[in-house]
Amino acid sequence: MPRPHLLTLNEHPLPPLDSVAAEIARHAAAVNRYPEFYPERLRGIVADWLGLPGEQVVLGAGSVGVALQALQASVPAGGGLAYGWRNFDAYPLLADMVGARRIEVPLLPGGHQDLEALAKAVQDADAVIVCNPHNPTGQLVPGDELREFIGRVPEHVLVVLDEAYIEFVAPSGRTDSLGWVREFPNLLVLRTFSKAWGLANLRVGYGVTSPRWAARIGRYQLPYALSTLSAVAVETSLRAQPELEERIAVIVGERERLSAGLARGGWTVLPSHTNFLWLDEPERAEDIRLALAGEGVQARVYAGEGVRLTVGDSDANDSVLRALA
């Protein structure tokens, strides 16, 4: 039986670079040893790569791990956490983990986050999350609108800007979000090595914020949380950035090919700035699931809302186009 095409979790479709796999293998014999108590060495490497002082960088088990640490540091029990909904599935879970009230702001038509409504919601919140580009719709908040929104948030409220998919955004659409941290000390920019960097299984994410917030968030860093294998994979990947950027370009090209093919087939596909597509088909979501299953494709179906479809390799994408022709 052929292997299914797993297009549910927005994973990179390609295995690690040879150099990364070799470095992981080289260190595998030492897995009986603990990693660093706190990942100070990796934090310094990431900070140097970003051109920032280490005191502004925090690390965690994926960007969701950093997000949890940030909410532990910012939202007291019973406090408010605001975000658009629908959104990344982990946000409600994180709210529950820290005992926060969920303040869920409905999306606008077309899958956009309602920044005006979010700006009102933060008046009763301790933290707010903006996912940009948005998961699961793939929509991008323009930089001027995003910066204006951050400026409206009270200084005591932490703004978590989740940029897990930023590497898939065209350079013309990216903002200087890391630079904004100097202007907005309550801003935390989240990024990950899981998506574009292809290290999802190794769980490394990072955040950039003001030194004051980084210190507060760092108090919730779990000892021994990042393995040596994760650290060496990230370090090696950073040295191989040009190769990884070539892979990103391939995924973006496949995204546009897949989007155009689905549109020709009569499906409503939103423009995407990520490594996935959103089929805005609330009435036909189950029909899509069944058609994809017939070609061995698994996608993320939101009943009554639509379907999120990860961009796979060319074979997987061809299977999608056959299924939905």
Q: Are residues 176 and 49 in the same domain?
A: yes
Q: Which secondary structure element, helix H or strand E, spans residue 1, and what is its range?
A: none
Q: Are residues 104 and 222 in the same domain?
A: yes
Q: Are residues 205 and 91 in the same domain?
A: yes
Q: Are residues 283 and 187 in the same domain?
A: no
Helix (H, G, I), strand (E, B) or coil at 77: coil
Q: Are residues 144 and 265 in the same domain?
A: no
For residue 309, the model assigns a pLDDT of 98
DSSP string, 152-196: HS-TTSEEEEE-TTGGGS-GGG---HHHHHHH-TTEEEEEESSST
Q: Are residues 220 and 248 in the same domain?
A: no
Nearest Cα residue to 100 out of 157, 36, 138, 153: 157
What does the pLDDT look like over 253-310, one tens digit per residue? 999 999 999 999 999 999 999 999 999 999 999 999 999 999 999 999 999 999 999 9
Q: Are residues 235 and 300 in the same domain?
A: no
pLDDT per residue as tens, the chain (325 positions): 578 999 999 999 999 999 999 999 999 999 999 999 999 999 999 999 999 999 999 999 999 999 999 999 999 999 999 999 999 999 999 999 999 999 999 999 999 999 999 999 999 999 999 999 999 999 999 999 999 999 999 999 999 999 999 999 999 999 999 999 999 999 999 999 999 999 999 999 999 999 999 999 999 999 999 999 999 999 999 999 999 999 999 999 999 999 999 999 999 999 999 999 999 999 999 999 999 999 999 999 999 999 999 999 999 999 999 999 9
Question: Which tokens sit at 261?
Answer: 């093919």
Question: Which tokens sit at 295?
Answer: 């070609």
Q: Are residues 234 and 258 in the same domain?
A: no
Q: Are residues 64 and 171 in the same domain?
A: yes
Report yes or no on whether pTM surpasses 0.75: yes
In our burial notation (b when 16+ CB lie closer than 10 A, e otherwise), range 112-130 reads bbebeebbebbeebbbbbb
Per DSSP bridges, beta strands 205-208 and 297-302 are unpaired
For residue 192, the model assigns a pLDDT of 98
Last residue of a domain, one of 178, 204, 239: 239
For residue 3, the model assigns a pLDDT of 81
Q: Are residues 175 and 312 in the same domain?
A: no
φ/ψ region of 111 (left if φ > 0, alpha if ψ in -120 to 50, else beta) reads left
Q: Are residues 212 and 267 in the same domain?
A: no
Per-residue CA distances from 259 to 33, 269, 281, 317, 321 (Å):
46, 7, 14, 10, 10
For residue 1, the model assigns a pLDDT of 57
Q: How many domains does the chain have?
A: 2
Q: Are residues 45 and 158 in the same domain?
A: yes
Distance from C-alpha of 208 to C-alpha of 66, rounded to nearest angstrom: 10
* CATH number assigned to the domain comprising residue 71: 3.40.640.10
Last residue of a domain, one of 239, 254, 284: 239
**Host domain of residue 275:** 5-14+242-323
Last residue of a domain, one of 221, 239, 257: 239
Distance from C-alpha of 152 to C-alpha of 154, rounded to nearest angstrom: 6
* CATH number assigned to the domain comprising residue 258: 3.90.1150.10
The helix, strand and coil proportions of the chain, stated in percent and rounded to the nearest 5, come to 45, 20, 35
Cα angle, residue 6 at apex, residues 254 and 13 outer, rounded to 5°: 45
For residue 181, the model assigns a pLDDT of 97
